[in-house]
Copies of this chain bind each other. A is one copy, B any other.
């Protein structure tokens, strides 16, 4: 069945489509449409279940009320939680979210930006992959709000919301050192993206500031797309070949692989062997013993993202360059 259009409503009500459009957009008063007409038209709209075609509206007005969200992987609890919070807040303001996952693949990220652009999204919220600077620069010319989160591409002047990873990582390592640990391992992934390299920087800085020696063999960088069981066996090797009395994992999924490895080699987590994971999860709270974790302020991140975007969207304010860096919380268990 054909969907109703504004024409059908106009015909039924014996008015022009202009009148219907004004009523639809709440401009009945402003445009001095008589209440009689307004009432009949509204009645017909309600009874028929007519809803304006947003695609046509978008073509005409140039905006879509859709915000594009590009994340690394929506099934990562960190991104899923952020997406959920952003979605809820955007929804209240009449915006919808289209999202997509890049898998940290530059080609896919470029492609997604292109698709969002061709769909005329009103704004972009991006967790960028390396190599998309050029595409983003081109995007800037459209004059639509763009915001990076989680990680930054520092050469570009894009508003950013993220966590102070250096400090979080630093504090975690410092807490190890305070408890007398000297052989502190760091397990991370081999991505050159800001939020990961910063975690490494914090680790190195704490080691240095506290006059420990940096031991390269205690740093394990696993390939990003590696199967979890391969990661587990690499961590096992790390723990068997070296004296390690504390270990910091740079992501939640690495920590999970680590816990499996620790379990499989029957290593005991206690005062002699401490563990901290980046990004808190239920699994860490419930673990025996409970695992300490660095908790990013998800709610605050989402709040800042959506507020920045909405303020640019509504106030047509000049593109700003806010860099919002929020503190993480170290939860010792």
As a 0/1 sequence over residues 280 to 304 of chain A, the CB contacts with chain B under 8 angstroms (1 = contact) are 0111011110000000000000000
Instruction: Indicate if the CB atoms of B1 and A141 lie closer than 8 Å.
Output: yes
Residue of B nearest to A52 (CB): B118
Is A260 at the interface (CB under 8 A from chain B)?
yes
Is A87 at the interface (CB under 8 A from chain B)?
yes
Q: Assess A84 versus B77: contact at CB under 8 Å? Given A55-B58, A64-B55.
A: no
One of B73, B80, B256, B259 near A74 (C-beta < 8 A): B80
Which chain A residues numbered 228 to 285 have a C-beta less than 8 Å away from chain B?
256, 259-260, 263, 281-283, 285
- A-B CB proximity, top 6 nearest: A283-B283, A288-B288, A75-B84, A80-B80, A1-B141, A54-B118
One of B59, B84, B142 near A1 (C-beta < 8 A): B142
Shortest distance from the beta carbon of A33 to any chain B beta carbon, whole Å = 23
Is A117 at the interface (CB under 8 A from chain B)?
yes
Is A329 at the interface (CB under 8 A from chain B)?
no
Instruction: Indicate if the CB atoms of A120 and B54 lie closer than 8 Å.
Output: yes
Instruction: Indicate if the CB atoms of A118 and B84 lie closer than 8 Å.
Output: no
Complex CA distance for A73 and B259, rounded to whole angstroms: 28
Is A325 at the interface (CB under 8 A from chain B)?
no
Q: How many identical subunits does the complex contain? A: 2
Instruction: Indicate if the CB atoms of B283 and A259 lie closer than 8 Å.
Output: no
Shortest distance from the beta carbon of A119 to any chain B beta carbon, whole Å = 5
Shortest distance from the beta carbon of A246 to any chain B beta carbon, whole Å = 19
Stretch at the interface among A92-100, A125-133, A181-189: A92-100
Please give, as numbers and ranges, the residues of chain B lying within 8 Å of A55 by CB-CB distance: 55, 58-59, 64, 119-120
Is A36 at the interface (CB under 8 A from chain B)?
no
Complex CA distance for A119 and B58, rounded to whole angstroms: 9
Shortest distance from the beta carbon of A127 to any chain B beta carbon, whole Å = 15
Please give, as numbers and ranges, the residues of chain B lying within 8 Å of A64 by CB-CB distance: 55
Please give, as numbers and ranges, the residues of chain B lying within 8 Å of A58 by CB-CB distance: 55
One of B91, B100, B282 near A256 (C-beta < 8 A): B282
Complex CA distance for A141 and B51, rounded to whole angstroms: 14
Shortest distance from the beta carbon of A32 to any chain B beta carbon, whole Å = 27
Please give, as numbers and ranges, the residues of chain B lying within 8 Å of A1 by CB-CB distance: 141-143
One of B83, B97, B142 near A98 (C-beta < 8 A): B97
Q: Assess A54 versus B119: contact at CB under 8 Å? Given A74-B74, A74-B80, A87-B101.
A: yes
Shortest distance from the beta carbon of A286 to any chain B beta carbon, whole Å = 5
Which chain A residues numbered 101 to 122 have a C-beta less than 8 Å away from chain B?
101, 114-115, 117-120
